[in-house]
Amino acid sequence: MSKYKPTNKIELRSLIENNNIYLGDIDTSLITDMSMLFDKPNFACFEGSYSEYESYNVRIDFSGIEKWDTSNVINMRSMFHNIKNFNIDINNWNVSNVTDMAYMFFGAENFNHPLNKWNVSNVKSMTCMFKNAYNFNQDLNDWKINKDADIKDMFVNTSLIEKPHWYNL
């Protein structure tokens, strides 16, 4: 049984900003929007120096996130945007309802886990999804991509040796 059950992204964000809360204790089954969830606050609103801002992370420990119920999520745009230390296996997430994954792992430099189990057939935007995720090098050939999905610059600056067969850009 989960300790926390947020009903929206604002409530979820307040929980994840508390590094004393284990992410596995959060029931995310009601969440539909996880866009920019771990992104930094706007610099104009940040209390501190520029160097502190640059080193700021919303979250340090991501353990337990692999247990999240993402079956109702529609938007994951920029979810891990510039979270350099993120590298957790989230291959078992149900992302079948997600329509926006643009910039999801943009700048997540250390991320390199399989995502081959993901059903991404409803995703309409994957623009820059892995851009600047320098260590990413996983086989995504099993993905069934929506023929109208925007996949521009999806793998720019990754370690991906062989692009998936469906990536025709």
Q: For 117-161, how does the pLDDT look when each residue is reduced to its tens digit (9 = 90+)?
A: 999 999 999 999 999 999 999 999 999 999 999 999 999 999 998
The Cα–Cα gap between 15 and 129 comes to 25
Distances (CA, A) of 153 to 12, 50, 127, 135: 30, 29, 6, 16
How far is Cα of residue 33 from the mean position of the Cα atoms in its chain? 12
The Cα–Cα gap between 33 and 10 comes to 10
E-only strand ranges, 42-114: none
Checking if the pLDDT of 90 tops 60, the result is yes
The Cα–Cα gap between 22 and 42 comes to 25
In this prediction, residue 59 has a pLDDT band, given cuts at 50, 70 and 90, of confident
